[in-house]
Amino acid sequence: MDKNRSPLKVALHGMDERSYKMMAMYLQGPCRGAAVVVSEQNAECDIFDGDSVNGQKFLTEYLQKESHRPIIVLSLNDQKLENVLPVKKPVKTDDMLMVLAKAKELLSANTKQTMSQTVPLASRSATPTTDIAENIIQPLEDGQKLKIFINTDEQKKTSKHQAAMQLNEKGFSAFIGSVSGIDVNNPKQFDKAHYNPREYFQGYVDSAFKVSRAKGQVRQLNSGWSPLIIFPQSDEVWLDVDESQLRAFSGLVINNTLGSKMSITPLSLEVSSMDRALERFYSMDAFLWKVACWASKGRYPITIDINQPVYLKQWPNFTRLLVTPHAMRIAALLIQSPRTLSNVAEVLNLKPQYVFVFISAACSLGLVGQTRRVADVLVQPSEIKSNKNQGLLSRILSVLRGKKA
């Protein structure tokens, strides 16, 4: 593009205020000298947003008027209209400059052809110029947004939708607990640092969830304690106890004492539809995750072979789960490649209890897999590649972790 030539005078159509300003600045910036935005009456070329409701409407009207001006249409989709110069979004500067040059050539050719006819552009019935004020009161969306009827009860389920609690090392023992008679952080005692989820409330909750989901029925887990009501359709549970009580109960081995009292019963529609305290609803996953943490107390589940690498199938939904110390680091590492639990602790320089409790929780939701190949053990990566901006990233992290709401 010869920047010394006079810029093409363009009018913008079908754009809201933000888009209009951005386009004007874009033409002043990356496309400087190639085009300038003017009023519709003074324009030599028209640019339409082909994806907005207004843009489509104006374009349709405009095409019916046999304008002699070049028309440029910006769109996410391929435009196959006749006499239209398409530019696909996201707009690339090279594409835009090329189309503007082409528009100028067309304008020049059209001018020569119509010299004798002298049809003044301004005299034709004017298409409405893009009016910023008008666009502000027009819908910005193009109809993609669904009509949503807000369920206010759902929004009152504060426990279900609450933000995650992020535990640090200092709060770990007090909140998660510990096991006497064993040092879970001593590699020589790793073989004993496991627990069996089936002996704890976790195992019964897990079974009840599976039955309830398989049957698609509201079920009640009776335990001789407070009943747990499971709503598989909405993926939530209801339990009318304080968190401290649940924590204490979850940490008990109950299969020998309450095991015989455990039962899962279907609930009638009448009973399941009863009004309940909304703040006592929890997401099924968040509930089971937390119960698993309390059962684990820093141990790993017996289903995991401590000598075989594990991997993470997907990231846990951490914003709605209890975030145990270093859980995000562990997740980020295990999503990359399989490692043994001890290797994770070693590479990240962590106490193994933090790895064990995370694995326990992730296992409860079925997020952990374990490789059984000898090769995976042999080729287990020992180190991780540091990011070139590690110092910066650490500073951002420290600010974020200090910025809890």
Partner 1 sequence: MSQYKIIFTGPVGAGKTTAINSISDLPPIKTDASASDMTRYRKSSTTVAMDYGIMNLPGGEKLHLYGTPGQERFDFMWDILVTGGIGLVLLLDNTRADPFQDMRFFLDTFEKFIADTTVAIGITQMDMSGKPTIEDYHIQLQGLGLKPPVFAVDARVKNDVSLLIQALLYSLDPGLEGDNEQ
At its nearest, how many Å lie between partner 1 and the CB of residue 37?
A: 11
Residues between 238 and 267 with contacts to partner 1, criterion CB under 8 A: none
Taking the least distance from each CB to partner 1, the nearer of 93 and 108 is: 93
Task: Give DSSP secondary structure letters for 99-140.
Answer: HHHHHHHHHHHHHHHHTTT---GGGSPPPPPP-HHHHHTS-S
The label of the residue with tokens 């929890």 reads: 282
Query: Alpha-carbon distance 203 to 279, whole Å?
Result: 25
Count of chain residues binding partner 1 (CB under 8 A): 84
The label of the residue with tokens 């070693």 reads: 346
- Show Cβ contacts of residue 23 under 8 Å, excluding neighbours closer than 6 positions: 12, 15, 37, 47
At its nearest, how many Å lie between partner 1 and the CB of residue 126?
A: 24
- Show Cβ contacts of residue 265 under 8 Å, excluding neighbours closer than 6 positions: 219, 220, 222
The piece of 120-128, 139-147, 274-282, 374-382 that touches partner 1 (CB under 8 A) is: 139-147
Q: Which of 145, 191, 374, 375 binds partner 1 (CB under 8 A)?
A: 145
Query: Alpha-carbon distance 327 to 209, whole Å?
Result: 24
Query: Alpha-carbon distance 18 to 26, whole Å?
Result: 12
Instruction: Tell me the HSE value of 216 on the side-chain side, using a 13 A CA sphere.
Output: 0
115 is a site residue for partner 1 (CB under 8 A): no
At its nearest, how many Å lie between partner 1 and the CB of residue 295?
A: 22
> What is the layout of strands, in order, in the sheet containing 219-222?
263-266, 219-222, 228-231, 236-238, 281-283
At its nearest, how many Å lie between partner 1 and the CB of residue 78?
A: 15
At its nearest, how many Å lie between partner 1 and the CB of residue 365?
A: 10
Taking the least distance from each CB to partner 1, the nearer of 194 and 329 is: 329
The CA-based angle 279-261-233, given to 5 degrees, is 40
Query: Alpha-carbon distance 197 to 195, whole Å?
Result: 6
374 is a site residue for partner 1 (CB under 8 A): no
Residues between 25 and 64 with contacts to partner 1, criterion CB under 8 A: 25-26, 28-30, 49, 51-52
Q: Which of 71, 96, 246, 368 binds partner 1 (CB under 8 A)?
A: 96
Q: Which of 18, 124, 210, 261 binds partner 1 (CB under 8 A)?
A: 18
228 is a site residue for partner 1 (CB under 8 A): no
Q: Which of 320, 369, 377, 381 binds partner 1 (CB under 8 A)?
A: 320
At its nearest, how many Å lie between partner 1 and the CB of residue 332?
A: 4
Query: Alpha-carbon distance 205 to 290, whole Å?
Result: 11
- Binding string to partner 1 for residues 160 to 199, with x set by CB under 8 A, is what? -x-xx-x-xxx-----------------------------
At its nearest, how many Å lie between partner 1 and the CB of residue 374?
A: 25
